[in-house]
Each structure stands twice: as C-alpha cells, then as structure tokens.
C-alpha cells in the first residue's frame, strides 16, 4: 500500500467507512445546534500543516511529484534515495504505529469547532489514516509484482516521467537510479517470504509480468530510459556541454549495468516462485483474505457498503443495462449492426484536437475550470503496459498549469476508443477534475490522499458524457455507452464475487452466464484472480455516479441543472463515496 508516485491509470478491460458525523446532518444555519464553525480552527490547520510537512520531508519521490518548490512552503526536500526498509515487516508495523499517533491527535479536535472546509479535511484524513492503518496489518497480501500495478511498472514510469525542473535534480535522479537494485532486492525478499507462506500471484499473473519485463529489457542501447533522459539533458540550456556528456554517460551505464539486470533478477525470481500460491481461487479463500479484501475495497472506494451490498448494487446495475440493451434493440435493431467504432468526424483529429474539441463542447455541462497547458504523447511500445490504455500524470499542487497525458500506441488504433480514453484522462475527466480541485486551494494534505473510486468514477462517468458531443446517431451513442458501462461494472462485480465473496469457478460460471457468452467465462474469471481489485474502483465508481445522476434527475425533474450538479460533486475535492453520496442528497434537498 505504499505509493512511489501519484499516477492515474485508465486500465483495459478483462482484466464501510466510519461515519463520524453524517454530512447531511451538518447545516450552516446558525439556528441549528449542530453546524459548521464560521471561523477556522487555527490549531487544526497547524496540525494538518505539520502532517503534510512530515510526509513531504520523509520521501523524495513523493515530494518531487507533489511540489514544484518545497522551500516556498518551508519544506526541506529530503535526500534522493529509495529506501529498501519500505519492504520490511518492521516498516509495516512502524506505519501502523505512526498512523495511530496521527489518528489520536486528529480525534482530539472537536468537530464542532471546524469550518465546512476543515470538516471535509478532517473526514478525508481520518478515513485515510484508518484504512491504511488497518491495511498495513496484512503485509502478506501486499503483492509487489502484479501485472498492472507492480513495482516493475511503477519504477519505469517514475523515472521516465521524472520532470527536471531544477538543475540539481539530475544528480538526484542518478542517485535514485543507483538505489534501484537494492530496492528491488528488498521487494523480492519480502515476496519470497510471502511465497513461503503460500501468498503469491497466480501463474497467469507471473506470465503477464514476465511479458512486460521482457518487452522493457528487449531494448538496451536505445532503451527509452536512455533516449528520454538524453533528450532532457540536451534540451537543458543551463547545463554545460561537459556536464551533459557526463550525465548521459552515467545514466546509460546505470540503465545497462544496473537497472536492466535488476529487472532480469525479478524475472528469474518470479519464475522460480511459480506454483507457490496455496489457494486455487480468489483472495477470500486465504485465511483473513475476506477481511483484507474488504479493507482494500473500502480504501479504494470509500463506500460504506459491505462487499455483498456492493456486489448486489453492481448486479442490479447490470440487470438494468440488459433491459436498456433490449429496449435499444427493439427501438433500432440496425444500430447494433451499424456501429463501427469508426466516426468520420474523428478521422482528421489528432490527439490534441480531441481535447480541444471536448473543451469547446463541455461548457453546457460543467463549470469553468482553470486555464491550463497540457502535453499529450504516445508511449514507446517497450514501456507501455499492455493493460494500460493511457495515464494522466498529476501535476505538482503548486504548478497546476503543466499537465501530461501519455497514451499507449495501441489505443490509437481505434479512433472512437482513443476519443473515449483521451476524454477520460483529459477533459472532462482527470485533468479537468484534478486542476479544478487544486484551483480551489484545498489543504495540501488532501493531495496526498487517494480516493480512487471518486476520481476514476468521475472519469468513467464524464467520458460517457463526452460521447454525446460526437456527430453520430443517438442509437450508436447509446450502444457504445452501454458497452463501456457493461464491461467495467461486470468486471467490478466479478472481482467482488470471486475475491470478496469467495465463490469458486463453477458458481461464478453460473452467475456469469447471465451476462456473457460461455467462451469468455474462463478468461474473465482468471483475469479477476490474476489482478485482484484493480477494476473495482472503476466499475463501482461508475455505478455510483450513474445511480446518483439518475436519482438527482428523477427527483428534480425540470429543476435539474447539470452545471450546478457537477459543482456539487467537485466542490469538496475528491473524497470517499459515502461523502459524495451524502453531498448529492443535500444538493437534491436544497434544489427541490
């Protein structure tokens, strides 16, 4: 549960929070006996400032990707190093102890003395501390080399996306590179311990990770980590020619003689550990597996529903989609034959054109966001994870104007798929939501808290809205959107069914046959076991957003205003889904 850097991924398919004080009971009306304070609690702000400062001074990469200028905030940038201690059982125990101390201090504040903004900071940070404190009690489940989210993928992206904003950061970068072999060995040591106890990836997951490693190590002299670094050095006018050559030589030596060999060590070790998994099925079959998975889902979604309740919600959503499919077919059978995923309007669009097109059309649905710049480019095939369509790199909180989107080259083969993916990552998806949020100046501690189902649910929900801006028939739009909804929510429900509820293959097959062709059953079942939990925040988040939108429209009727509705969603930063749901209830009540 330790993150190397802040990254939002759009993943290919086929692959309860504590309610301290329900928000709907909190009212700014001074006549109420229980409401928000009108003045900020200074001591509370000082506490959050201290917590954020401690986090930023504890880890170089977290600092680098979160802040452009640490000194402006009175924060000392830590030494550039990767600490192998992160992968020891002692570090897990330390994290639990540290989180407990922070939680006790947080709980010492009287929530009645907090403003509305502070109260959301309080709830979000409390939720985060409680979740990670509990999750770090289960180090055996923390698999570090899973195909889509493994350390091997994160390290490549961390170094490839490292932005050299200051000259001294070239030395920092090279120092970090030097630590990679020892860092990886520490992760492998913990992995060996896990495997000895029967906690290990499936053989299928190992095979996927091996493919990714082989792709990356297939290039040596022209490896992307060499060529991209050389380009950065050559473009930097503040470096002398001699220093440029020195840096390029050192980087090349580290990649060829240290980084790539360390990845080959991962490959060798994972192959030797194949067959170590002690169960044949989902995580719930492990001792304490159901408890761990429930905590994992709670952390990823921020929902206060149980695993069974989340599954039932997704299953009901799928039944509704089937009815929508039938209604769409009865209304226009030809639409299912005509949909080609080739939209003539998009044929002349470059990736940048897609973002500009959506920006021009989204004003009728969304509030105005800040003016920002962005760069969008394709990844090299050897560093592009086949399970990742694209990703948006969150900018430093003090430099929100600079934004980067990277696209898997295979995504561009389908123009409509590219349009949806770029909308998901850019406008009105992640780039818009994140920069809108940062522009409201939330407390910096919120930038270090990940509410994945909120952010991914938003991106899924808004990419569907972006499809409405295209010049294709309503029937084709509907079918395409139904396909997206169905794929992600089905995958999330399947994950919950297998990894959370512990159903075996035969039981799962019986359920899946309600929705898909028998020839796909084994593949999707294995996919859920190979990479557990990864799709859950996408599918659950989407179902939440769609259900909340339906409820708001049904109850408000003609009074529903999309811009104001989205303002209510965006107002209090990314947050657990139970808080989002409560806020929408308040929005509906205040607009009736």
Q: How far is CA 360 from CA 99, 365, 412, in A?
A: 44, 11, 22
pLDDT at 4: 30
- Rounded distance, CA 464 to CA 471, Å? 14
Q: How confident is the model at residue 342 (pLDDT cuts 50, 70, 90)?
A: low
| Contact yes or no for 80/62 (Cβ under 8 A) | no
Does the structure show a pLDDT above 70 at 379?
A: yes
Average pLDDT over residues 183-187: 98
- Rounded distance, CA 51 to CA 43, Å? 12
Q: Cα Rg for the chain, rounded, in angstroms? A: 24
pTM for the whole thing? 0.92
- Rounded distance, CA 146 to CA 12, Å? 15
SS3 390: strand
- Rounded distance, CA 199 to CA 278, Å? 7
Higher pLDDT pick, 1 / 294: 294
Average pLDDT over residues 247-259: 98
Q: Which of 395, 384, 381 is nearest to 153 (CA)?
A: 384
Note the pLDDT tens digit of each residue in 343-361.
777 887 888 999 999 999 9
Average pLDDT over residues 201-210: 97
Average pLDDT over residues 9-17: 32
pLDDT at 416: 87
Q: How far is CA 31 from CA 26, 28, 34, 38, 374, in A?
A: 12, 9, 9, 13, 47
pLDDT at 348: 79
- Rounded distance, CA 52 to CA 443, Å? 9
Mutual angle of helices 474-495 and 518-530, in 10-degree steps = 60
Q: How far is CA 434 from CA 319, 456, 531, in A?
A: 33, 11, 27
Q: How confident is the model at residue 336 (pLDDT cuts 50, 70, 90)?
A: confident
Q: How far is CA 108 from CA 37, 44, 102, 356, in A?
A: 17, 10, 10, 48
pLDDT at 333: 82
| Contact yes or no for 265/210 (Cβ under 8 A) | no
Q: How confident is the model at residue 225 (pLDDT cuts 50, 70, 90)?
A: very high
pLDDT at 27: 31
**All residues at 6 or more sequence positions from 111 whose CB lies less than 8 Å from its CB, including other chains:** 20, 21, 119, 122
pLDDT at 3: 30
438 alpha carbon, distance to own chain's centre: 17
Does the structure show a pLDDT above 90 at 17?
A: no
Tokens representing 391 are 């990703």
Q: Which of 294, 263, 278, 417 is nearest to 351 (CA)?
A: 417
Question: What's the per-residue H, E or C state across 545-586?
Answer: HHHHHHHHHHHHHHHCCHHHHHHHHHCCCCCCHHHHHHHHHH
Residue 403: phi, psi to the nearest 5? -130, 145
Q: How far is CA 139 from CA 2, 6, 191, 257, 502, in A?
A: 11, 21, 10, 31, 20
pLDDT at 146: 97
Helix (H) or strand (E) segment spanning residue 289: helix 289-301
Average pLDDT over residues 488-500: 98
Q: How far is CA 161 from CA 64, 441, 524, in A?
A: 11, 25, 32
Give the mean pLDDT of the chain: 91
Q: Which of 63, 289, 294, 81 is nearest to 198 (CA)?
A: 289
The DSSP output letter for 35 is: B
- Rounded distance, CA 4 to CA 157, Å? 10
Does the structure show a pLDDT above 70 at 558?
A: yes
The DSSP output letter for 86 is: G
- Rounded distance, CA 342 to CA 482, Å? 17
Q: How confident is the model at residue 19 (pLDDT cuts 50, 70, 90)?
A: very low
Average pLDDT over residues 403-411: 92
Q: How far is CA 116 from CA 105, 436, 451, 543, in A?
A: 20, 19, 19, 27
- Rounded distance, CA 375 to CA 367, Å? 23
Note the pLDDT tens digit of each residue in 274-313.
999 999 999 999 999 999 999 999 999 999 999 999 999 9
- Rounded distance, CA 250 to CA 177, Å? 10
Average pLDDT over residues 544-565: 98
Does the structure show a pLDDT above 60 at 11?
A: no
Q: How confident is the model at residue 194 (pLDDT cuts 50, 70, 90)?
A: very high
The percent of residues above 90 in pLDDT, for the chain, comes to: 84
- Rounded distance, CA 554 to CA 146, Å? 42
Note the pLDDT tens digit of each residue in 127-142.
999 999 999 999 999 9
Residue 391: phi, psi to the nearest 5? -150, 155
Does the structure show a pLDDT above 60 at 68?
A: yes
For the beta sheet containing 7-11, the strands, ordered from the edge strand earlier in sequence to the opposite edge, are 7-11, 388-393, 402-407, 373-378
Alpha helices in 136-202 (DSSP H): 151-160, 169-196
- Rounded distance, CA 143 to CA 205, Å? 11
pLDDT at 475: 84
């Amino acid at each position: 549960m330790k993150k190397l850097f802040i990254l939002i991924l759009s993943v290919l398919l086929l692959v309860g929070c504590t309610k301290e004080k329900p928000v709907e009971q909190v009212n700014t009306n001074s006549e109420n006996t229980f409401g928000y304070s009108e003045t900020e609690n200074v001591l509370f702000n000082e506490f959050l400032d201290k917590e954020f400062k401690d986090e930023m001074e504890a880890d170089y990469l977290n600092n680098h990707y979160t802040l452009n200028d640490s000194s402006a905030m009175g924060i000392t940038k830590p030494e550039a190093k990767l600490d192998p201690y992160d992968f020891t059982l002692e570090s897990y125990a330390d994290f639990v102890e540290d989180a407990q101390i922070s939680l006790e201090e947080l709980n010492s504040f009287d929530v009645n003395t907090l403003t509305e903004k502070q109260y959301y900071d309080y709830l979000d940070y409390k939720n985060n501390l409680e979740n990670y404190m509990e999750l770090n009690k289960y180090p055996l489940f923390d698999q570090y080399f899973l195909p889509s989210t493994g350390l091997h993928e994160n390290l490549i992206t961390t170094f490839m996306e490292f932005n050299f904003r200051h000259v001294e950061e070239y030395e920092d970068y090279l120092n970090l590179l030097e630590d990679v072999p020892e860092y990886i060995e520490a992760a492998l040591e913990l992995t060996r311990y896990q495997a000895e106890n029967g906690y290990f990836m499936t053989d299928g997951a190992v095979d996927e990770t091996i493919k990714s490693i082989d792709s990356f190590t297939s290039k040596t002299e022209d490896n992307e980590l060499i060529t991209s670094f050389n380009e950065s050095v050559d473009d930097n006018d503040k470096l002398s020619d001699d220093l440029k050559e020195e840096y390029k030589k050192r980087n090349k030596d580290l990649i060829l003689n240290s980084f790539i060999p360390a990845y080959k060590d991962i490959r060798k070790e994972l192959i030797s550990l194949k067959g170590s998994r002690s169960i044949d099925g989902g995580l719930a079959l492990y001792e304490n597996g159901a408890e761990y998975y429930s905590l994992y889902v709670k952390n990823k979604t921020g929902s206060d529903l149980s695993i069974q309740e989340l599954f039932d919600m997704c299953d009901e959503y799928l039944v509704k989609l089937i009815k929508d499919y039938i209604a769409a077919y009865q209304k226009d059978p030809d639409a299912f034959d005509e949909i080609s995923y080739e939209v003539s309007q998009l044929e002349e669009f470059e990736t940048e054109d897609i973002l500009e097109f959506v920006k021009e059309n989204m004003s009728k649905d969304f509030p105005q966001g800040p003016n920002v710049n962005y760069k969008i480019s394709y990844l090299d095939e050897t560093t592009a994870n086949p399970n990742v369509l694209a990703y948006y790199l969150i900018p430093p909180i003090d430099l929100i104007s600079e934004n980067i989107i990277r696209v898997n080259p295979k995504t561009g083969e389908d123009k409509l798929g590219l349009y949806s993916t770029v909308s998901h990552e850019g406008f009105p998806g992640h780039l818009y939501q994140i920069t809108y949020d940062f522009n409201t100046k939330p407390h910096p501690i919120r930038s270090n808290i990940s509410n994945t189902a909120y952010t991914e649910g938003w991106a899924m929900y808004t990419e569907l809205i972006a499809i409405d801006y295209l010049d294709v028939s309503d029937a084709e739009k509907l079918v395409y959107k139904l396909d997206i909804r169905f794929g992600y929510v089905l995958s999330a429900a399947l994950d919950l069914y297998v990894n959370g509820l512990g159903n075996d293959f035969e039981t799962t097959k019986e359920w899946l046959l309600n929705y898909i062709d028998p020839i796909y059953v084994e593949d999707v079942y294995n996919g859920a076991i190979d990479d557990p939990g990864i799709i859950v925040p996408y599918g659950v988040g989407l179902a939440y957003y769609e259900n909340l939108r339906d409820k708001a429209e049904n109850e408000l009727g003609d009074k529903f205003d999309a811009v104001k509705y989205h303002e209510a969603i965006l107002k209090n930063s990314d947050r657990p889904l139970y808080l989002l749901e409560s806020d929408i209830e308040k929005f509906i009540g205040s607009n009736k």
